[in-house]
Chain A
Amino acid sequence: MEQLLEILKQLHPDVDFALEEDLIGDGILDSLDIVTLITEINCTFDVSIPAEEIIPENFASADAILALIERLDEE
């Protein structure tokens, strides 16, 4: 979680990602951010997020992203 929050912080230093619940709907993360984020996650966590998993629900909050990473790691 710490690592993930660190990555997110780099993207938008002015946002407190631990509190945000709807990162996509509120327009905090756009498509460019998402791809940067995925690249970072792939490097850091050694998972690969496929294109079909890029849906708003999976990126709505830091928790959701973490859940996605864990699920992919699991499979």
Chain B
Amino acid sequence: MSFTSASFLLFAVLTLLLYYTLPKRWQWILLLGASYVFYFFAGAEYLLFILFTTAVTYLCGHLMQKRADAEDAFVEANRETLSKAERKEFRAAEKKKRFRILLMGLLLGFGVLAVVKYTSFVLSGISSIGQAFGAAPLRIPELLLPLGISFYTFQSMGYLIDVYRKTARAEKNPLRLALFVSYFPQLIQGPISRFGDLAPQLFSEHRFDGFRFRAGLGRVAWGYFKKLIVADTAMIAVKALVENKDGGFTGVYVLLLILLYSAQIYGDFTGGIDITIGFSELLGIRLAENFDRPFSSRSTKEYWRRWHITMGTWFTDYVFYPLSVTKSMQRFSKWSREKLGTAVGKRLPVYFATVTTWFLTGLWHGAGWNFIVWGLLNCLVILVSQELQPLYDRFNRHFPRLTASRAWGAWQALRTFLLMGLIRSLDCYRNVPTTFRMWASMLTDWNIGELFLGGLTSFGLSVSDWCVLLGGILLLALGSRLGKKRPVREWLAERPILLCAALCLLAVAILLFGAYGIGYDASQFIYNQF
């Protein structure tokens, strides 16, 4: 059931009706049931995977909590007799034991993800090495990739780490934990929620709140608009440009691809998240935001604070920080400081942790070299700009008027947008050498003139498709600009008649101009394979 299918709409309406008519204490049970129905429709065999992850998460969380409670009770009971050093030692020993349980949970949880997502990648790597030495190619099994497995695995493993760190208490009720893992609106594209944020929302009783309901409706409709009008129209062109049947889509077409793919992924991903968060708002559940107008970022670092936020903070909190403050890392830092000087020593641990984090971020996005190179390039840009910071600062001091101007800000945003788009195109071609060749062709093939000789309509977009797409993008930009201080939907939610008119208008526009149905390939959200 994709968000854009009629069956999802029906499913959503039925869920909402039941949600507000059933007794409030059953609301979370209904959500659990709905989530499993949703998942069942995606593929009955997928249920096994999510059940396994849920069971592992529940058991490990429960075990760690039991140890932690016993530990606290022991320390409390022997407060008088234990010395500070003894207490410290006891707690450290307990932490180690908890860590073993955590490790088992992580191994099992990420293990499933690794097997279904990366087996074929690893095997084909081994196979090609083997072939280089004359071995026969390996048979690579086709494993099914359960819907949203990356998202729910990350969410569950984050919960386990939180319990280990004692920043969250383990959930006692296995059914409640099952809902936390499987909450269906975020199964497809995230966001990746934290237990501490999401659990109280899921399990409290929700009264129908007219204002929030209306705002939620507005957000869902806006999400469909982004997805069906902008993303799916752009996708037609992106597909044709990437396929590059006659080999002619080089040079300026690569630039076009970068722009169109930016529109596509923005519409698809932020639209999907709008539907998720908006639908949750209909249920009275508030989810973490995943985007903060990312395309107006002025630097790569800023961009990654504003794009796919919940994934970024997940990696920062659960990979980057722990990795950089481990004892061995700190020892390594001290050592390198003594041997290689303060400047290098200060940087080494940070750099090591940054590179590792981005490598894993790339891998999370997909099993392929293109994703790994994509992650490392992002990392490279961030580290280089980090190193150049003193240079920027000097520039700022010399030209304060220029760097404070709006034009300078716009230039920085444009630069960041294009750079991110360029790196992102690795995700289109799905092949590193091809992508690099295409990038090079932007400098070598000066075919900009072709665009005006029919080139613009040579990859699946007619003149009217272009009008729809550009109009849609314009409206997106306008909506984003107007909603800078306060989202437009909230303003509309206070004016029900205007909201109703806006919804009707959006519905007509989507039905008429949306890229759906026969003639267009029914497209799934880009992010659900990740």
Contacts and interface: CB of A to CB of B under 8 A. Distances in A.
A35 B334 contact: no
B165 A36 contact: no
Given A30-B301, A32-B386, A42-B330, A48 B325 contact: yes
Nearest to B312: A31
Contact of A54 (B317, B333, B334, B353): B317
A14 interface: yes
B346 interface: yes
Contacts of A75: 88
A36 B305 CA distance: 19
Contact of A38 (B324, B334, B393): B324
Interface string B280-324: 000000000000000000000110010000000000110011101
A39 B317 contact: no
Given A42-B330, A54-B317, A35 B325 contact: yes
A34 B349 CA distance: 12
B333 A39 contact: yes
How big is the A interface, by class? 20 to 34
Contact of A32 (B325, B330, B354): B354
Interface in A15-51: 27, 30-32, 34-36, 38-40, 42-43, 48-51
A2 interface: no
A58 B333 CA distance: 23
B434 interface: no
Contacts of A36: 346, 350
Nearest to B386: A32
Nearest to A52: B165
Contacts, number: 54
Contacts of B305: 27, 30
How big is the B interface, by class? 20 to 34
Contact of B165 (A32, A48, A51): A51
Given A31-B320, A43-B334, A48 B327 contact: yes
A51 B325 contact: yes
Nearest to B393: A14
B328 to A, nearest CB: 12
A31 B354 CA distance: 10
Given A39-B333, A42-B330, A49 B350 contact: no
Contact of B350 (A14, A27, A35): A35
B166 interface: yes
A13 to B, nearest CB: 8
Given A30-B301, A48-B325, A35 B165 contact: no
A29 B180 CA distance: 32
Contacts of A43: 333-334, 337
A50 B325 contact: yes
Contacts of A31: 316, 320-321
Contact of A52 (B167, B330, B333, B334): B167
B325 A54 contact: yes
Interface of A: 14, 27, 30-32, 34-36, 38-40, 42-43, 48-52, 54, 75
6 contacts: A31-B320, A35-B353, A43-B333, A51-B321, A51-B325, A75-B88
Given A32-B350, A75-B88, 14 more contacts: A14-B393, A34-B321, A35-B321, A35-B349, A35-B353, A36-B346, A38-B325, A39-B349, A40-B346, A42-B330, A48-B325, A48-B327, A51-B325, A52-B166
User: Which 6 residue pairs spanning A and B have beta carbons closest together?
Assistant: A52-B165, A51-B322, A35-B324, A51-B321, A54-B321, A35-B350
